[in-house]
Amino acid sequence: MTLSQTPTADQLRNRLVDEILSQRSVPADVERVMRTVPRDAFLPGIELEDAYTDQAVIIKDNPDGPLALSCASVPSVVAMMLEQLGAQAGDNVLEIGAGTGYNAALLAELVGPEKVTTVDIDSDVALHARTTLNAAGYDRVTVIERNGLLGAIENAPYDKIIAAVGVWDIPAAWWNQLKDGGRLVLPLRWRGQTRSVALIRRGNELVSEGMELCGFVPIIGQNGEKTSALNADDAIRVHYDQDQDIDADALADTLQSGEPALEVASDQRVGGEESFDGVWLRATASDDRVCRLEVTPRALEQELVRRPATPIRTPVLVEGGSLAYLTASREGADPERPFRLGAAAYGPRREELARDLIAHIEAWGPDRLVIPRMIVTPTETGATAGHVIRKPESHITLAY
């Protein structure tokens, strides 16, 4: 390719936005700001082509774990969450997780730079955001180095709050800093999954207005999610919430017994590109046994267990020394939906757990895109009627 043929940053940016628009509808104001703000300006040292691909970019590794400490979010997910937020000119907005500063710049274009506050716990990340925002002409955005769980009382109350980090529990500080009628958008984590949830404050309730599957680096300071190895070389793991009673030793004994899996097929089939994460979501609305199973390539090579539907993150029902998880098997000659969903189960209660997981799959099947209504309340006010997931600072109620 000659120099004259090399695409410019503007061309690459517009190509990226066109790609996002081909996959989902985006409000005109969100499209406008994504075509305006130069993402490459917030990713110094990154190749121009890489700055305009629909991928996350790590800006700081985490020395204490496998996940990055901070990264630039996937642009299509950024667009989706800005749509959920619905920020308008003049709104006072708080962002939790400053990252590169790019999202704060997008918000500044939507509401005005003096109306945006972004906070980050890491000094290097906060400095990066401050530096790139200044260089790109967004010096009136407020950048604060602080634990994001505390919010930013200085510029409260806020019309909108958006979190760019995975949140396991909603801090009381965010409730206190969000106006009644205000909107909170966050990647909320429960029962091993993460959904970007748009919540509207109605007095002492946060009521959902949509949720979308996503994945984010978890916020620092919340430790309600646990992980246990289920075999000696840590090739199989279960991820669960602190309120769930998980007997990792009993599960490990079951998996190491050599007993073959009980395999049960459902009536539901899926296409190769069709998401079946709705099974997981639906199960969490009624079943407190739902966790996340992670099976590494090493475990698959050794054939330690029947292959899960998605090895790195599959819903699993766990009770005592028994478990049942989702499978997807190529079966039959249907070219539109070649995979049949089912359950693989181990342990003394495998028949019961397999039956219950199949029931969740069948409940999801007839209307696969429907999502539950979520109501979140502070712990001190109690929970609404329905199936409740209890966390230290909030209660989550889900209902279909």
Clarify whether residues 293 and 250 are in a common domain: yes
Look at the chain and report how many structural domains it folds into: 2
Clarify whether residues 37 and 154 are in a common domain: yes
Q: Which two tokens stand for residue 95?
A: 């962002």
Q: What is the mean pLDDT of residues 268-276?
A: 92
**Known catalytic residues?**
73
Clarify whether residues 196 and 109 are in a common domain: yes
State the pairing for strand pair 322-330/225-229.
Answer: unpaired
Residue 381 lies inside a defined structural domain of this protein: no
CB 87 within 8 A of CB 78: no
Residue 382 lies inside a defined structural domain of this protein: no
- Provide the pLDDT for residue 3: 53
- Provide the pLDDT for residue 1: 47
Name residue, tokens 């190749």: 47
pLDDT digits (tens, 9 = 90+) for 312-359: 999 999 999 999 999 999 987 788 899 999 999 999 999 999 999 999
Clarify whether residues 235 and 192 are in a common domain: no
User: DSSP secondary-structure letter at 270?
Assistant: E
Indicate which CATH number applies to the domain containing 9.
3.40.50.150
The C-alpha atoms of residue 189 and residue 284 are separated, in whole angstroms, by 11
Clarify whether residues 91 and 240 are in a common domain: no
Residue 380 lies inside a defined structural domain of this protein: no
- Provide the pLDDT for residue 12: 97
Name residues whose C-beta falls within 8 Å of residue 239's C-beta, 6 or more positions apart in sequence: 192, 225, 226, 227, 291, 292, 293, 294
Q: Where are the alpha helices (DSSP H) in the chain?
A: 9-23, 28-36, 48-51, 75-85, 102-111, 123-135, 172-177, 248-255, 277-284, 297-301, 350-364
Of the residues 173, 190, 213, which one is the last residue of a structural domain?
213
pLDDT digits (tens, 9 = 90+) for 79-126: 999 999 999 999 999 999 999 999 999 999 999 999 999 999 999 999
The C-alpha atoms of residue 133 and residue 95 are separated, in whole angstroms, by 14
Domain span at 335: 225-364
- Provide the pLDDT for residue 71: 73
- Provide the pLDDT for residue 72: 80
Clarify whether residues 201 and 269 are in a common domain: no
Residue predicted with more confidence, 2 or 233: 233
